[in-house]
Amino acid sequence: MFETLKPQPADKILSLMQTYKADPRTDKIDLGVGVYKDASGNTPVMRAVKEAERRLVADQTTKAYVGLAGDPAFADAMIDLLLADTLPRDRIAAIATPGGTGAIRQALEMVKLAAPAATVWISNPSWPNHASIVNYLKMPKREYRYFDEATRGVDFDGLIADLGTAAAGDVVLLHGCCHNPTGANPTLDQWDRIIATLQDRGAVPLVDVAYQGFGDGLEEDAQATRRIAAAFPNLMIAASCSKNFGIYRERTGILMGIAADAAEATLTQANLNFLNRQNYSFPPDHGARVVTTILTDPTLRADWEAELEQTRSSMLTLRRQLADELRQRTNDDRFDFIADHRGMFSRLGTTEDKVGALRADHGIYMVSDSRMNIAGLNATTVPILAQAIADADI
């Protein structure tokens, strides 16, 4: 049987990680994988997570399965975090998933159940796994313009023009905040235009929220998603706890399905449960229970929010420092966009050859499309990166 298998294309980011590990240089810099690192290069366990886990170990009396949808308290806590009082709770169906990737996969499986002929629209560029999953599921796919290579900002006119051709029932995958891989995000006024365009076309939003709290703040990063949720009778929201809770390996995510009314939400919930059963039955619980413990305990939540704000502020500081260093070294303001971007990533907007030169000549690893993880830097490595970019004449 296995002799009939064909080689699969290597994941560019995972391959980059392996190449980085094999590089013997001690001054190399990893800006590839999307993981937050502190000033010493570690990905720390947050204080509130440690305390929540301590409580779970002390108090948990069983490891029996939870329901197909996961713990209802986790769904309630995450819906409150992301949507607050935007919608009546009885319009929202939800399932716990193995990370944000699992939520995206289940969302696309839901599209195949509900509207198998629907085209899925993905931003160009986007997180590579978006297109990879859509292609694997053999779903119709189109791209909409997103990134302006000249300004390193959002190509808003191109975005609106492309989405203006979406058909009724098409699904449009949107990044709720901190766009990956570019770091460039629409303004709230632009989000209103996007919403109006999708309403006019009869399209259905699928919002990916992987970085709430990493951009402008917990509440601020939720504003676009809340506006979208309030504007449509049907949509889906995939959210990840990997980054903002720092529990990457616990694979903790959630998929929310917004229905037109309570009766439709009940039907939606049953279908989401069905999809979980077909895929992995009961979702992981440990990370979800950690998140629930933090979000429902005022003291733990306050400590988590404070540490998350420190993380966000440190990334903004690195952005400003890098933009300033580049301005000094190039005597040009063309890299000021780095300070304006939000989240973990920025895209330099240069060629694959120059990205390769940064890797070969300076030991600086970033994805070939010039996406770099700002959180992989520290105050010491920022000037090194800035000089390398200047030397490469990017």
Catalytic hit among 229, 243, 288, 304: 243
The answer on 377 and 345 residing in a single domain is yes
- Predicted TM-score of the model (pTM): 0.96
The answer on 110 and 244 residing in a single domain is yes
Give a yes or no: residue 2 inside a domain. Answer: no
Does the structure show a pLDDT above 90 at 60? yes
- Between the alpha carbon of residue 10 and those of residues 33, 210, 358, the distances in Å are 15, 23, 21
Give a yes or no: residue 51 inside a domain. Answer: no
The answer on 323 and 192 residing in a single domain is no
Report pLDDT digits (tens) over 346-383.
999 899 999 999 999 999 999 999 999 999 999 999 99
The answer on 237 and 159 residing in a single domain is yes
Give the span between the Cα atoms of 194 and 187, in whole angstroms.
10
Report pLDDT digits (tens) over 202-240.
999 999 999 999 999 999 999 999 999 999 999 999 999
Which regions of the chain does DSSP assign to beta strands (E)?
Answer: 29-30, 92-98, 120-124, 141-145, 147-148, 153-154, 171-175, 204-209, 235-240, 252-258, 345-347, 364-365, 371-373
Domain count for the chain, please give it. Answer: 2
Respond yes or no: is residue 208 known to be catalytic: yes
Give the span between the Cα atoms of 77 and 295, in whole angstroms.
6
Report pLDDT digits (tens) over 108-157.
999 999 999 999 999 999 999 999 999 999 999 999 999 999 999 999 99
**Arithmetic mean of pLDDT, 288-306:** 98
Give a yes or no: residue 52 inside a domain. Answer: no
Catalytic hit among 210, 222, 238, 386: 210
CATH no. for residue 207? 3.40.640.10
Does the structure show a pLDDT above 90 at 264? yes
Q: Identify the domain containing residue 121 by its residue range.
A: 65-296
Report pLDDT digits (tens) over 7-37.
988 888 888 889 999 999 999 999 998 899 8
The owner of tokens 């391959």 is 15
Q: How confident is the model at residue 200 (pLDDT cuts 50, 70, 90)?
A: very high
- Between the alpha carbon of residue 276 and those of residues 46, 103, 321, 335, 356, the distances in Å are 29, 10, 45, 45, 41
Exposed/middle/buried for residue 249 (C-beta within 10 Å: 0-12, 13-18, 19+): exposed
Respond yes or no: is residue 27 known to be catalytic: no
DSSP 118: P
Catalytic hit among 48, 52, 96, 127: 127
Closest CA to 241 of 37, 13, 75: 75
Respond yes or no: is residue 117 known to be catalytic: no
Give a yes or no: residue 278 inside a domain. Answer: yes
Question: What pLDDT does residue 14 have?
Answer: 83
Of the three residues 265, 296, 327, the one that is the final residue of a domain is 296
The answer on 342 and 269 residing in a single domain is no
Give a yes or no: residue 169 inside a domain. Answer: yes
DSSP reduced 3-state for 96 = strand
User: How many alpha carbons fall within 13 Å on the CB side of residue 138?
Assistant: 0
Question: What pLDDT does residue 207 have?
Answer: 99
Query: CA Rg, the chain, in Å?
Result: 21
Catalytic hit among 208, 221, 285, 369: 208
Closest CA to 346 of 363, 329, 321, 328: 321
Q: What percent of the chain has pLDDT over 70?
A: 100
Q: Which amino acid is at 108?
A: L
In three-state form (DSSP H/G/I as H, E/B as E, the rest C), the secondary structure along 130-186 is HHHHHHHCCCCEEEEECEECCCCEECHHHHHHHHCCCCCCCEEEEECCCCCCCCCCC
Q: What percent of the chain has pLDDT over 90?
A: 94
Respond yes or no: is residue 59 known to be catalytic: no
The answer on 282 and 240 residing in a single domain is yes
Report CA 353 to chain centroid distance, whole Å.
27
Does the structure show a pLDDT above 90 at 40? no
